[in-house]
């Protein structure tokens, strides 16, 4: 089950990357806020139809859900705003790499302490090495991008 | 002042992990697709307000744009749903590593071929090393 989930999440990452290329192209003519709004609107339309036919949960239970669980919607917006603030000052690549570092560090911390009622997975030596390899990989991406930028200009 | 910008970017990433962990919990009570729906519905409202007050672009471009460039929303749905489904099974750490790997590898492929209107940037030696380190990391973390 775990392996299947990892594959599924890899696909999620793939679609996310396709999304950022498509949205990047679209936003050059339409603007950043407009692009994001369109992304959310079309996503909502799609999911409305999907839920009506295949939804097995209960949307109305949203009203009874603890408010802290609903606050996650602001996290996505916060991500967008902070990214938009950082990109002009330090560049897209540096922003993405710093963002990924933040994502991994907090991800491992949440697992370690089991925050938000999540699975408790301790930060052991193996996990620490995994993080180290992720950082090495980010370093190579940073270097690789610098190299190809020079070739292009 | 550059230091603060790096901090902002770190925080941005942290927000994504928090989002994943919290939505996983919401998904257990109201359902996973329903959680995705909530995210996009609420996001539309927040962005709708932001657009009304701060939008400087041209929303009418939506009607003129090539149709494939309108697919961002549907792709975002796949991403968010995969996170909500996966976190309760494998935890936030592995989920984030897997998402990031999928994202980085696909970005390299997209740029290498110049797909989807992106600038063509060839894959180089460093990027291949990067992918190898990422795969080692995924094996270790699992």
How is chain B split into domains, by residue range? 2-141
The boundaries of the domain holding residue A111 are 65-153
Kindly report, residue by residue over B55-90, the tens digit of the pLDDT: 888 899 999 999 998 998 899 999 999 999 999 888
Whether the CB-CB separation of A21 and B71 falls below 8 Å is answered with no
Kindly report, residue by residue over A86-115, the tens digit of the pLDDT: 888 888 778 888 888 888 889 999 999 999
Domain count, chain A: 2
How far apart (Å, rounded) are the C-alpha atoms in residues B138 and B102?
Answer: 11
In angstroms, the Cα distances linking A152 to A147, B119, B136 are 9, 10, 31
Residue to substitute from A1, A2, A13, A136, interface B, most B β-carbons within 10 A: A13
How far apart (Å, rounded) are the C-alpha atoms in residues B142 and B139?
Answer: 5
For residues A75 and A43, membership in a common domain is answered with: no
For residues A3 and A35, membership in a common domain is answered with: yes
Residue to substitute from A1, A3, A10, A120, interface B, most B β-carbons within 10 A: A10
Nearest CA-CA distance, residue B105 and chain A, Å? 8
For residues A14 and A78, membership in a common domain is answered with: no
How far apart (Å, rounded) are the C-alpha atoms in residues A75 and A70?
Answer: 10
User: Which range is least confidently modeled, A147-151, B25-29, B51-55, B105-109?
Assistant: A147-151
> Nearest Cα to B141, choosing from B81, B94, B77, B107?
B94
For residues A79 and A138, membership in a common domain is answered with: yes
């Amino acid at each position: 089950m775990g392996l299947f989930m990892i594959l599924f999440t890899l696909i999620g990452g793939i679609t996310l990357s396709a999304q950022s290329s498509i949205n990047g192209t679209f936003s050059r003519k339409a603007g950043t806020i407009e692009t994001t709004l369109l992304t959310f609107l079309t996503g909502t339309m799609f999911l409305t139809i999907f839920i009506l036919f295949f939804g097995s949960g209960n949307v109305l239970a949203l009203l009874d859900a603890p408010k802290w669980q609903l606050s996650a919607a602001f996290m996505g917006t916060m991500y967008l705003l902070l990214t938009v603030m950082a990109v002009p000052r330090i560049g897209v690549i540096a922003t993405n790499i710093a963002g990924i570092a933040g994502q991994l560090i907090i991800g491992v911390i949440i697992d370690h302490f089991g925050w938000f009622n999540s699975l408790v997975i301790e930060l052991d030596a193996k996990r620490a090495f995994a993080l180290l390899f992720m950082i090495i990989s980010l370093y190579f991406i940073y270097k690789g991008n610098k190299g190809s930028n020079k070739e292009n200009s | 002042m550059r230091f603060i910008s790096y901090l902002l970017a770190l925080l941005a990433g942290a927000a994504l992990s928090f989002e994943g962990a919290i939505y996983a919990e919401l998904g257990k009570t109201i359902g996973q697709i329903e959680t995705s729906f909530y995210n996009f519905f609420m996001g539309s409202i927040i962005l709708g307000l932001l657009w009304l007050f701060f939008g400087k672009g041209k929303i009418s471009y939506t009607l003129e744009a090539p149709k494939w460039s309108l697919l961002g929303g549907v792709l975002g749905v796949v991403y968010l749903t995969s996170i909500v489904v996966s976190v309760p099974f494998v935890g936030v750490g592995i989920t984030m590593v897997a998402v990031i790997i999928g994202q980085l590898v696909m970005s390299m492929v997209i740029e290498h071929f110049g797909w989807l209107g992106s600038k063509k940037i060839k894959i180089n030696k460093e990027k291949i090393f990067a992918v190898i380190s990422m795969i080692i990391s995924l094996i270790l973390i699992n």
